[in-house]
Amino acid sequence: MRITPLMPNLYINPPKAPTFQSIIRDVRDSNGNIKNSNSTCFYSKDIDWKNFSDYLFRKYQKNDKVNVFSFGCSDGSEPMSLAILLDTHNRYEARKFFPIIAKDNDEFILNRLRSSNVRAYFSDIDKIVEFSDNHLGRYFIIKPQLPENESMIIHPTYELNNRIRYINSDVRKSVNALPSKDTVLMIRNIVPYLGNEAKQEEFINTVTSKLKENCVVVIGDLEEDLGIGQKLEDAGFVPTEIDHVYETKSLSGQV
Ligand SMILES: C[S@@+](CC[C@H](N)C(=O)[O-])C[C@H]1O[C@@H](n2cnc3c(N)ncnc32)[C@H](O)[C@@H]1O
């Protein structure tokens, strides 16, 4: 990691830089009910990320291409966490997982990433340093700042952005076009925002009917609370050794 010289941080006061982790942009309907919440962070604790990466490389060792989707990607912390993790595990082999297709229907949040430098808290930075094996500078351009802010101004590098394709899209529609084979789908902490129980059910039913062979679904704490893990199992998916990670039943003869 390259530490840049200390200089006044022009981004803090004003104009403020947007922040990773602290966006927490709630979109409410006219009655004040939350329709969407963008809260997210790098390497959230509900996934055992290192084992997840081992698992993906093992599962897809014979594949030339794997289709990876992050639905409800918010500010990109989730697909960026995964891209850095896979890239760090094995740069050459990781190419088959890229680009990660990251979708969100909140244009505001996607534009933030494209247009701004972003403030990351040291807790984010520590995790990125850890999961990138100390290669923060490979994935983020780091801007000068004051140490007492407990944050840094960073911007994803071309190298990182090149591994992810951000698309503004409603995943209730995109779900119909999921490839049936060799697909990894992250639907973490998004299902509660997809409408009433019937709409959520319809979305999960489409997921389970589309993903047929050699596929993986990753859910979040919010989905687990809604019983989505059980619904995946009822539809024939199998829990893996990693919490919140489910896979399609292997066909006979498949490793
Ligand atoms: C709580 S965040 C989850 C972020 C990330 N997946 C995670 O777990 O850290 C939920 C995201 O889902 C997005 N979202 C909600 N409904 C959506 C829809 N119908 N299509 C696409 N994105 C949606 C929101 O804009 C928000 O960014």
- pLDDT tens-digit map of 144-170: 766 666 777 888 999 999 999 999 999
Was domain 26-248 assigned CATH 3.30.470.30?
no
Choose which residue among 24, 52, 174, 190 to substitute to test ligand 1 binding: the one with the highest number of ligand atoms within 8 A of its C-beta: 190
Q: What mean pLDDT comes out for the span 238-243?
A: 97
- pLDDT tens-digit map of 167-199: 999 999 999 999 999 999 999 999 999 999 999
**Cα 170 to ligand 1 centre (Å):** 10
pLDDT band of 113, cuts 50, 70, 90: confident
Give, rounded to a whole angstrom, the gap between the first and last alpha carbons of the chain: 39
**Cα 147 to ligand 1 centre (Å):** 32
**Cα 138 to ligand 1 centre (Å):** 27
CA distances from 97 to 54, 85, 181 (A): 13, 11, 13
Segments of the chain assigned E as strands: 26-28, 34-37, 67-71, 100-104, 118-121, 140-143, 151-156, 164-168, 183-187, 216-219, 237-239, 245-248
pLDDT greater than 60 at residue 24: no
**Cα 159 to ligand 1 centre (Å):** 24
More confident residue, 17 or 222: 222
Out of 1-10, 18-27, 55-64, which region has the weakest mean confidence (pLDDT)?
1-10
pLDDT greater than 90 at residue 241: yes
Query: What pLDDT, on a 0 to 100 scale, did the predictor assign at position 40?
Result: 79
User: What is the atom index within ligand 1 of the atom nearest the CA of 27?
Assistant: 25
pLDDT band of 4, cuts 50, 70, 90: very low
